[in-house]
Amino acid sequence: MQRTPEPELMLDPAQARAYAAADFDAPNAAFVEALLGRFPELDGHLDVIDLGCGPGEILIRLARLRPNWQLLGVDGSAAMLDAGMDAIAESGRESQITLLQALLGDETLPEASAGLVISNSLLHHLRDPAALWRELRRLGAPGAAVFVQDLRRPTDAAQARALVETYAATEPEVLQQDFFASLLAAYTVEEVRAQLADAGLDLAVAETSDRHLQAWGRLP
């Protein structure tokens, strides 16, 4: 099935609220478990950047598990960051997590600063996927760890509909539509491998669930 792009930023407050309230427990837990499992050495002080952080649920999970980490979440959508600010205040982790409204490529973001750069579910939003891989290289310090998770594109629309039915049947309609559009906009493992080769990044890529892929490794 050919890729169908979706809008990059999630600017609509209703869409952002529905996303923030949705149950992403399983994929977010899988993200954190795989990240910490693949980089067990990252247990001391660390500056971390999360690109396309949305409402910040992964940042909060990481802050709880790694109290020595300082986390910066970056997103272009004020509506998403509003939801994130509330969640972070509720978590009591304000001293560990900072949120910044910025687009990928924003010159005010701290270059070569992070020991770990992460991203969950941003890649499929991007018309130019190279923008994510460029940004990981620009913001990560030399040798920094990199961990990315995203949806992967099903073989056809029927398979995408079945995934929506399996994982989002009880979510609001706006979220079901969002999930369907995201699956159609997602990249395949083969496409991600080609993107990484173009970007000169030597990262591992694997299918990690019926709807996810992960890419991880170290920057040059």
Ligand X SMILES: C[S@@+](CC[C@H](N)C(=O)[O-])C[C@H]1O[C@@H](n2cnc3c(N)ncnc32)[C@H](O)[C@@H]1O
By C-beta, is 130 or 220 nearer to ligand X? 130
By C-beta, is 104 or 219 nearer to ligand X? 104
Residue 52 interacts with ligand X (CB under 6 A): yes or no: yes
Residue 122 interacts with ligand X (CB under 6 A): yes or no: yes
Q: Tell me the C-alpha distance between 41 and 134, whole Å.
A: 25
Whether 163 contacts 155, CB under 8 Å: no
Residue 6 interacts with ligand X (CB under 6 A): yes or no: no
By C-beta, is 19 or 39 nearer to ligand X? 19
DSSP β-ladder status, 140-151 and 69-75: unpaired
Q: From the list 8, 12, 82, 191, which residue makes contact with ligand X (rule: CB under 6 A)?
A: 8
Give the tokens for residue 37.
């499992």
Residue 120 interacts with ligand X (CB under 6 A): yes or no: yes
CA 128 to chain centre: 16
Q: From the list 103, 163, 189, 199, which residue makes contact with ligand X (rule: CB under 6 A)?
A: 103
Burial 143-160 (b: 16+ CB within 10 A, else e): ebbbbbbbbbbbeeeeeb
3-state secondary structure of 138: helix
Which residues are CB-neighbours of 114 under 8 A, at least 6 positions away?
47, 48, 49, 72, 139, 140, 141, 144
Whether 197 contacts 15, CB under 8 Å: no
The minimum distance between CB 185 and ligand X, in angstroms, equals 10
Interaction mask 12-41, ligand X, x per CB under 6 A: ------------x-----------------
Residue 150 interacts with ligand X (CB under 6 A): yes or no: no
Give the tokens for residue 93.
């982790």
Whether 143 contacts 46, CB under 8 Å: no
Whether 12 contacts 39, CB under 8 Å: no
Which of these segments, 48-56, 60-68, 188-196, 209-217, binds ligand X (CB under 6 A)?
A: 48-56
By C-beta, is 29 or 89 nearer to ligand X? 29
Q: From the list 75, 145, 186, 196, which residue makes contact with ligand X (rule: CB under 6 A)?
A: 75
Which of these segments, 76-84, 86-94, 108-116, 204-212, binds ligand X (CB under 6 A)?
A: 76-84
Interface residues with ligand X (CB under 6 A)?
A: 8-10, 24, 52-54, 57-58, 75-77, 80, 103-104, 120-122, 125
